[in-house]
Amino acid sequence: MSFRSSFLGVGTYLPERVVSNAALAERLDTSDAWIRERTGITQRHIAGPTETCTFMAVEAARQALARAGVSGESVDAVIVATATPDQAFPATAVRVQAAIGAGGFGFDLSAACSGFIYALSVADSMIRGGAARRVLVIGSEVYSRILNWEDRATCVLFGDGAGAVLLGAGPADGPGLLSTHLHSDGSFGDLLFVDGAVGLREASGCLQMNGREVFRHAVAKLAGAVDEALAANGLSYADVDWLVPHQANKRIIDAMGKKLGLAAERVVVTVDRHANTSAASIPLAFAEAVEDGRIRSGDLVLMEALGGGLTWGSALLRM
Ligand code: COA
């Protein structure tokens, strides 16, 4: 018997503290106008001491379960995409598993800002192959803890948060994930990286980025990834109802919307309020548009992301 991964529920968590561009400009050589014009960002949520990667992931997971109307025990697997776990191990996912009372198994996945697309792809393979029937896919990030708050070129771009999607095994000809497409090219590993990890004693652990080069790759590689997703399903730009892109920069998002010929209101944008929440950005944006009724049953939704690695990919789904 074959299955398709259908969407059962979505959940989110955003830290309580909101930091405006103006607040950053009070202690950095930057301005609200520069940040807005170059990125579209106006504010970001920044985690407090108790708002850990695990805490946010659990909150988002509980909300997704509640909205799907199912119990934690019915979940077979938890996958958390994160570059900012609280501990090297155990994985954030097993902490979530314990908190929601799930059986099965859980693990974390590292693919930077493409993490959610990667996690979706892995979960989909498991569901299609019959290894799991219900999988919680979560992106949870606290980039505020790996930023150099003196570096205006990077610290203004990111925010914290978590988003969760519950997938379930549905009929192969029913709604759900049509396909996912993953790519990475490690030869661009030095364009966007964190200069440390738990295994390196001398690590300072701050995010470093060549913004201009990342921007150039993003536009070209994301264009390829969306074409690939549509071609794999025999669909065209005109079939796409919604673009739910990774939320890194409004200019990259606009370029993708324009390429697809989508009206601006068909592109889900949260970067203005959330900034770049890395692996959490797509589930946060997706959940917002599902919950406010924009994305409806039967709609064709295209997701795409690019991040450190470089990693990139796309996912196409029928609601
Ligand atoms: N405030 C004010 N000035 C800033 C600034 C800030 N926060 N950050 C950088 N600048 C300055 C630079 O120092 C530079 O000054 P200089 O010309 O005197 O050297 C100038 O602004 C232009 O910098 P540049 O890097 O060319 O700007 P840009 O138009 O490329 O925009 C980014 C910078 C980071 C917004 C843009 O490159 C970008 O979004 N890249 C993609 C990043 C991304 O998406 N990363 C995540 C991928 S998951």
Q: Which of 215, 222, 276, 281 maximizes ligand 1 atoms within 8 Å of its Cβ, making it the mutation to test the pocket? A: 215
What's the gap in Å between 60 CA and the centre of ligand 1?
Answer: 32
Read off the pLDDT of residues 231-263 as tens digits, 9 standing for 90 and up: 999 999 999 999 999 999 999 999 999 999 999
Domains of the chain as residue ranges with CATH: 3-171 (3.40.47.10), 176-318 (3.40.47.10)
Whether pLDDT at 160 is above 90: yes
Tell me, what's the pLDDT at 196? 82
Read off the pLDDT of residues 117-152 as tens digits, 9 standing for 90 and up: 999 999 999 999 999 999 999 999 999 999 999 999
The mean per-residue pLDDT over the stretch 60-83 comes to 97
What is the spatial distance between Cα 106 and Cα 91, in angstroms, rounded to a whole number? 8
Whether pLDDT at 205 is above 80: no
Strands 105-109 and 77-81: parallel
Tell me, what's the pLDDT at 202? 58
Tell me, what's the pLDDT at 7? 97
Does residue 183 carry a catalytic annotation?
no
What's the gap in Å between 217 CA and the centre of ligand 1?
Answer: 15
Does residue 276 carry a catalytic annotation?
yes
The overall average pLDDT reported for the chain is 95
Q: Which of 19, 38, 113 maximizes ligand 1 atoms within 8 Å of its Cβ, making it the mutation to test the pocket? A: 38
Q: pLDDT-derived band of residue 203, with 50, 70 and 90 as boundaries?
A: low
Could you tell me which of 183, 205, 210, 185 has the C-alpha nearest to residue 195? 205
* Percent of the chain predicted with pLDDT > 70: 97
Tell me, what's the pLDDT at 200? 61
Binning the chain into helix, strand and coil, the percentages to the nearest 5 are 40, 30, 30
What's the gap in Å between 212 CA and the centre of ligand 1?
Answer: 7
Q: Is 18 exposed, middle or buried (0-12, 13-18, 19+ CB in 10 A)?
A: middle
Whether pLDDT at 54 is above 80: yes
What is the spatial distance between Cα 297 and Cα 281, in angstroms, rounded to a whole number? 22
Does residue 274 carry a catalytic annotation?
no
Q: Which of 36, 212, 277, 282 maximizes ligand 1 atoms within 8 Å of its Cβ, making it the mutation to test the pocket? A: 212
What's the gap in Å between 150 CA and the centre of ligand 1?
Answer: 14
Pocket of ligand 1 (CB under 6 A): 30, 34-35, 38-39, 113, 152-153, 156, 209, 211-212, 214-215, 218, 248-249, 276, 306-307
What's the gap in Å between 98 CA and the centre of ligand 1?
Answer: 41
**Closest atom, ligand 1, to C-alpha of 248:** 44
Going by the DSSP 8-state scheme, the letter that residue 258 receives in this structure is H
Read off the pLDDT of residues 256-301 as tens digits, 9 standing for 90 and up: 999 999 999 999 999 999 999 999 999 999 999 999 999 999 999 9
Strands 134-142 and 160-171: antiparallel
Tell me, what's the pLDDT at 201? 60
SS3 71: coil
The mean per-residue pLDDT over the stretch 96-117 comes to 97
Q: pLDDT-derived band of residue 197, with 50, 70 and 90 as boundaries?
A: confident
Q: Which of 21, 53, 113, 181 is catalytic?
A: 113
Strands 242-245 and 300-307: parallel
Strands 105-109 and 311-318: unpaired
Strands 134-142 and 77-81: parallel
